[in-house]
Amino acid sequence: MFNIERLTTSLQFIGAALALPAGAAGVYSAYHNYFSPEVMCQEMRNTALATLEKNIPAEAKLVLLRKDVTQFEAKCAEFEPETRTIFQVALHELEKPAPPAGPRASRPASAEKTFAAPRPAAMAALGPPPSLPPPAAPSANSSPAVAAVPAAAPAGGGVLGRAVHGWVAIELRKGGKVAEAFFSGYAANGQSLPPAGTMLTAMALRPIWSEPQGPGPSDPTKLQGRLKVGECVRVVDTRPGQGRQWAEVEPVLCQ
Protein backbone atom coordinates (compact mmCIF):
# COMPACT_ATOMS: atom_id res chain seq x y z
CA MET A 1 0.00 0.00 0.00
CA PHE A 2 1.34 3.44 -0.92
CA ASN A 3 2.59 5.35 2.15
CA ILE A 4 1.13 8.86 1.87
CA GLU A 5 2.79 10.05 5.08
CA ARG A 6 6.25 9.00 3.93
CA LEU A 7 5.72 10.69 0.55
CA THR A 8 4.62 13.91 2.25
CA THR A 9 7.68 13.89 4.49
CA SER A 10 9.99 13.33 1.52
CA LEU A 11 8.44 16.16 -0.42
CA GLN A 12 8.79 18.50 2.55
CA PHE A 13 12.46 17.56 2.90
CA ILE A 14 13.12 18.17 -0.80
CA GLY A 15 11.28 21.46 -0.65
CA ALA A 16 13.33 22.60 2.32
CA ALA A 17 16.56 21.65 0.55
CA LEU A 18 15.58 23.56 -2.57
CA ALA A 19 14.50 26.61 -0.58
CA LEU A 20 17.79 26.89 1.33
CA PRO A 21 19.87 28.39 -1.52
CA ALA A 22 17.08 30.83 -2.33
CA GLY A 23 16.93 31.90 1.29
CA ALA A 24 20.68 32.31 1.45
CA ALA A 25 20.62 34.35 -1.74
CA GLY A 26 17.90 36.54 -0.28
CA VAL A 27 19.91 37.16 2.87
CA TYR A 28 23.00 38.05 0.82
CA SER A 29 20.97 40.34 -1.42
CA ALA A 30 19.55 42.15 1.58
CA TYR A 31 23.02 42.57 3.06
CA HIS A 32 24.39 43.72 -0.27
CA ASN A 33 21.67 46.34 -0.77
CA TYR A 34 21.17 47.64 2.77
CA PHE A 35 24.30 46.91 4.80
CA SER A 36 27.12 47.28 2.27
CA PRO A 37 26.68 50.49 0.25
CA GLU A 38 30.41 50.61 -0.45
CA VAL A 39 30.28 47.29 -2.32
CA MET A 40 27.18 48.30 -4.23
CA CYS A 41 28.68 51.67 -5.18
CA GLN A 42 31.91 50.08 -6.33
CA GLU A 43 29.99 47.86 -8.73
CA MET A 44 27.91 50.75 -10.03
CA ARG A 45 31.03 52.88 -10.41
CA ASN A 46 32.85 50.14 -12.32
CA THR A 47 29.86 49.69 -14.62
CA ALA A 48 29.78 53.41 -15.47
CA LEU A 49 33.56 53.53 -15.93
CA ALA A 50 33.41 50.54 -18.27
CA THR A 51 30.85 52.44 -20.33
CA LEU A 52 33.09 55.50 -20.34
CA GLU A 53 35.99 53.45 -21.71
CA LYS A 54 33.99 51.77 -24.50
CA ASN A 55 35.12 52.51 -28.03
CA ILE A 56 31.67 53.34 -29.41
CA PRO A 57 30.12 56.43 -31.05
CA ALA A 58 29.67 59.39 -28.74
CA GLU A 59 25.87 59.40 -29.14
CA ALA A 60 25.54 55.78 -28.01
CA LYS A 61 28.03 56.28 -25.19
CA LEU A 62 26.11 59.32 -23.96
CA VAL A 63 22.85 57.34 -23.73
CA LEU A 64 24.45 54.45 -21.83
CA LEU A 65 26.51 56.68 -19.56
CA ARG A 66 23.58 58.92 -18.68
CA LYS A 67 21.64 55.84 -17.51
CA ASP A 68 24.56 54.54 -15.43
CA VAL A 69 25.26 57.95 -13.91
CA THR A 70 21.60 58.50 -12.99
CA GLN A 71 21.60 55.23 -11.03
CA PHE A 72 24.94 56.03 -9.43
CA GLU A 73 23.94 59.53 -8.32
CA ALA A 74 20.69 58.26 -6.81
CA LYS A 75 22.48 55.90 -4.40
CA CYS A 76 26.19 56.68 -4.32
CA ALA A 77 26.80 60.41 -4.81
CA GLU A 78 27.14 60.85 -1.04
CA PHE A 79 29.70 58.05 -0.70
CA GLU A 80 31.86 58.87 -3.75
CA PRO A 81 31.80 62.62 -4.51
CA GLU A 82 34.95 62.40 -6.65
CA THR A 83 33.49 59.76 -8.93
CA ARG A 84 30.31 61.81 -9.24
CA THR A 85 32.38 64.77 -10.44
CA ILE A 86 34.15 62.59 -13.03
CA PHE A 87 30.83 61.43 -14.44
CA GLN A 88 29.42 64.96 -14.53
CA VAL A 89 32.43 66.23 -16.48
CA ALA A 90 32.32 63.20 -18.81
CA LEU A 91 28.64 63.81 -19.57
CA HIS A 92 29.34 67.49 -20.18
CA GLU A 93 32.09 66.68 -22.67
CA LEU A 94 29.96 64.08 -24.49
CA GLU A 95 27.07 66.55 -24.73
CA LYS A 96 29.23 69.12 -26.50
CA PRO A 97 28.28 69.40 -30.19
CA ALA A 98 30.82 67.99 -32.58
CA PRO A 99 32.95 70.67 -34.29
CA PRO A 100 31.79 71.41 -37.85
CA ALA A 101 33.83 69.83 -40.57
CA GLY A 102 36.14 72.27 -42.31
CA PRO A 103 35.98 72.98 -46.04
CA ARG A 104 37.37 70.18 -48.12
CA ALA A 105 40.68 71.18 -49.57
CA SER A 106 40.78 70.97 -53.33
CA ARG A 107 43.57 69.00 -54.87
CA PRO A 108 46.06 71.31 -56.58
CA ALA A 109 46.50 70.83 -60.24
CA SER A 110 49.77 69.39 -61.42
CA ALA A 111 52.46 71.74 -62.66
CA GLU A 112 52.48 70.06 -66.06
CA LYS A 113 48.82 70.95 -66.66
CA THR A 114 48.98 74.46 -65.21
CA PHE A 115 52.23 75.98 -66.40
CA ALA A 116 54.20 75.54 -69.56
CA ALA A 117 57.85 74.66 -69.22
CA PRO A 118 59.94 77.89 -69.43
CA ARG A 119 62.10 78.32 -72.48
CA PRO A 120 65.89 78.69 -72.11
CA ALA A 121 65.82 82.29 -73.43
CA ALA A 122 63.22 83.30 -70.86
CA MET A 123 65.20 81.66 -68.09
CA ALA A 124 68.33 83.54 -69.08
CA ALA A 125 66.43 86.84 -69.05
CA LEU A 126 65.23 86.22 -65.53
CA GLY A 127 68.76 85.81 -64.26
CA PRO A 128 69.97 83.54 -61.48
CA PRO A 129 67.53 82.70 -58.68
CA PRO A 130 67.87 84.78 -55.50
CA SER A 131 69.97 83.18 -52.82
CA LEU A 132 68.20 82.29 -49.56
CA PRO A 133 69.66 83.39 -46.21
CA PRO A 134 71.44 80.62 -44.33
CA PRO A 135 69.44 79.00 -41.48
CA ALA A 136 70.04 80.46 -38.04
CA ALA A 137 72.40 78.45 -35.91
CA PRO A 138 70.81 77.01 -32.74
CA SER A 139 71.75 78.73 -29.54
CA ALA A 140 73.67 77.00 -26.81
CA ASN A 141 70.57 76.76 -24.60
CA SER A 142 68.23 75.42 -27.27
CA SER A 143 67.59 71.72 -27.81
CA PRO A 144 67.31 70.79 -31.53
CA ALA A 145 65.52 67.53 -30.68
CA VAL A 146 62.85 69.31 -28.64
CA ALA A 147 62.41 72.09 -31.20
CA ALA A 148 61.95 69.61 -34.06
CA VAL A 149 59.23 67.54 -32.34
CA PRO A 150 55.91 69.30 -31.72
CA ALA A 151 54.11 68.78 -28.44
CA ALA A 152 51.81 65.78 -28.51
CA ALA A 153 48.08 66.39 -28.16
CA PRO A 154 46.36 64.91 -25.12
CA ALA A 155 45.18 61.37 -25.74
CA GLY A 156 41.42 61.19 -25.85
CA GLY A 157 40.87 64.95 -25.67
CA GLY A 158 39.14 66.93 -22.96
CA VAL A 159 39.85 67.06 -19.25
CA LEU A 160 39.46 63.30 -18.91
CA GLY A 161 41.93 62.61 -21.72
CA ARG A 162 45.28 63.27 -20.10
CA ALA A 163 47.46 62.48 -17.09
CA VAL A 164 49.12 65.59 -15.65
CA HIS A 165 50.91 66.80 -12.54
CA GLY A 166 48.48 67.43 -9.71
CA TRP A 167 46.73 66.00 -6.64
CA VAL A 168 44.90 62.68 -6.39
CA ALA A 169 43.08 60.92 -3.56
CA ILE A 170 45.01 57.70 -3.11
CA GLU A 171 42.76 56.10 -0.48
CA LEU A 172 39.62 56.48 1.62
CA ARG A 173 39.76 56.10 5.40
CA LYS A 174 36.98 55.58 7.90
CA GLY A 175 37.62 55.43 11.60
CA GLY A 176 41.39 55.44 11.04
CA LYS A 177 41.23 52.39 8.79
CA VAL A 178 41.59 52.16 5.01
CA ALA A 179 38.14 51.63 3.50
CA GLU A 180 39.41 51.56 -0.08
CA ALA A 181 42.83 51.99 -1.70
CA PHE A 182 42.96 53.30 -5.27
CA PHE A 183 46.68 52.64 -5.92
CA SER A 184 49.11 49.78 -5.51
CA GLY A 185 52.80 50.14 -4.75
CA TYR A 186 52.67 50.95 -1.03
CA ALA A 187 51.32 49.45 2.19
CA ALA A 188 47.82 50.89 2.64
CA ASN A 189 47.55 50.22 6.37
CA GLY A 190 45.95 53.45 7.58
CA GLN A 191 49.06 54.46 9.53
CA SER A 192 51.11 56.43 7.02
CA LEU A 193 51.12 57.71 3.46
CA PRO A 194 53.72 56.78 0.82
CA PRO A 195 56.92 58.85 0.97
CA ALA A 196 58.08 61.11 -1.84
CA GLY A 197 59.54 59.19 -4.77
CA THR A 198 57.22 56.19 -4.39
CA MET A 199 55.86 54.90 -7.70
CA LEU A 200 52.15 54.08 -7.59
CA THR A 201 49.94 52.27 -10.08
CA ALA A 202 46.30 53.28 -10.44
CA MET A 203 43.81 50.48 -9.72
CA ALA A 204 40.82 52.66 -10.69
CA LEU A 205 40.19 55.71 -12.83
CA ARG A 206 41.25 58.64 -10.67
CA PRO A 207 40.69 62.37 -11.19
CA ILE A 208 43.65 64.73 -10.94
CA TRP A 209 42.97 68.05 -9.24
CA SER A 210 44.88 71.31 -9.13
CA GLU A 211 44.61 71.18 -5.31
CA PRO A 212 43.30 68.76 -2.66
CA GLN A 213 39.52 68.81 -2.32
CA GLY A 214 37.70 69.22 0.97
CA PRO A 215 34.92 67.02 2.34
CA GLY A 216 31.72 66.88 0.36
CA PRO A 217 31.30 67.53 -3.37
CA SER A 218 34.45 68.35 -5.31
CA ASP A 219 34.89 71.51 -7.38
CA PRO A 220 34.64 70.62 -11.10
CA THR A 221 36.64 73.71 -12.04
CA LYS A 222 39.67 72.23 -10.22
CA LEU A 223 39.61 69.04 -12.28
CA GLN A 224 42.50 69.08 -14.73
CA GLY A 225 43.22 65.48 -15.73
CA ARG A 226 42.77 61.82 -15.02
CA LEU A 227 44.61 58.56 -14.48
CA LYS A 228 43.38 55.37 -16.14
CA VAL A 229 43.70 51.92 -14.65
CA GLY A 230 47.30 50.71 -14.97
CA GLU A 231 48.90 54.14 -15.40
CA CYS A 232 51.73 55.08 -13.04
CA VAL A 233 52.68 58.19 -11.07
CA ARG A 234 55.49 59.25 -8.77
CA VAL A 235 54.66 60.77 -5.39
CA VAL A 236 55.92 64.33 -4.92
CA ASP A 237 54.22 65.15 -1.62
CA THR A 238 51.34 63.93 0.56
CA ARG A 239 48.65 65.59 2.62
CA PRO A 240 46.21 63.88 5.01
CA GLY A 241 42.55 64.81 4.71
CA GLN A 242 39.15 64.09 6.15
CA GLY A 243 38.36 60.70 4.69
CA ARG A 244 40.29 61.19 1.46
CA GLN A 245 44.08 61.00 1.75
CA TRP A 246 45.90 63.10 -0.83
CA ALA A 247 49.14 62.82 -2.76
CA GLU A 248 50.74 65.26 -5.17
CA VAL A 249 51.89 63.17 -8.12
CA GLU A 250 53.49 63.43 -11.53
CA PRO A 251 52.91 60.93 -14.36
CA VAL A 252 55.76 58.53 -15.15
CA LEU A 253 56.27 55.45 -17.30
CA CYS A 254 55.53 52.22 -15.49
CA GLN A 255 58.54 50.03 -14.80
- pLDDT given for residue 154 in this prediction: 36
**Over residues 162-171, mean pLDDT:** 92
**Over residues 21-41, mean pLDDT:** 55
Q: Please say whether the beta carbons of 217 and 244 come within 8 A.
A: no
How far is the C-alpha of 252 from the C-alpha of 58, rounded, in Å?
29
CA dihedral 227, 232, 236, 238 (to 10 degrees): 60
**Over residues 124-136, mean pLDDT:** 51
Assessment of whether the complete model's pTM goes beyond 0.75:
no
Measured in Å, how far apart are the chain's first and last C-alpha atoms? Answer: 78
The domain spans of the chain are 12-95, 159-252
Q: Which residues contact 62 (CB under 8 A, 6 or more apart)?
A: 91, 94, 95
3-state secondary structure the chain: CCCHHHHHHHHHHHHHHHHHHHHHHHHHHHHHHHCCHHHHHHHHHHHHHHHHHCCCCHHHHHHHHHHHHHHHHHHHCCCCHHHHHHHHHHHHHHHCCCCCCCCCCCCCCCHHHHCCCCCHHHHHHHCCCCCCCCCCCCCCCCCHHHHHCCCCCCCCCCHHHCCCCEEEEEEEEECCEEEEECEECCCCCCCCCCCCCCEEEECCCEEEECCCCCCCCCCHHHEEEEECCCCEEEEEEEECCCCEEEEEEEEECCC
14-18, 141-145, 225-229, range with the lowest pLDDT: 141-145
pLDDT tens per residue across span 65-117: 999 999 988 888 777 777 888 888 888 888 887 666 656 555 554 444 444 44
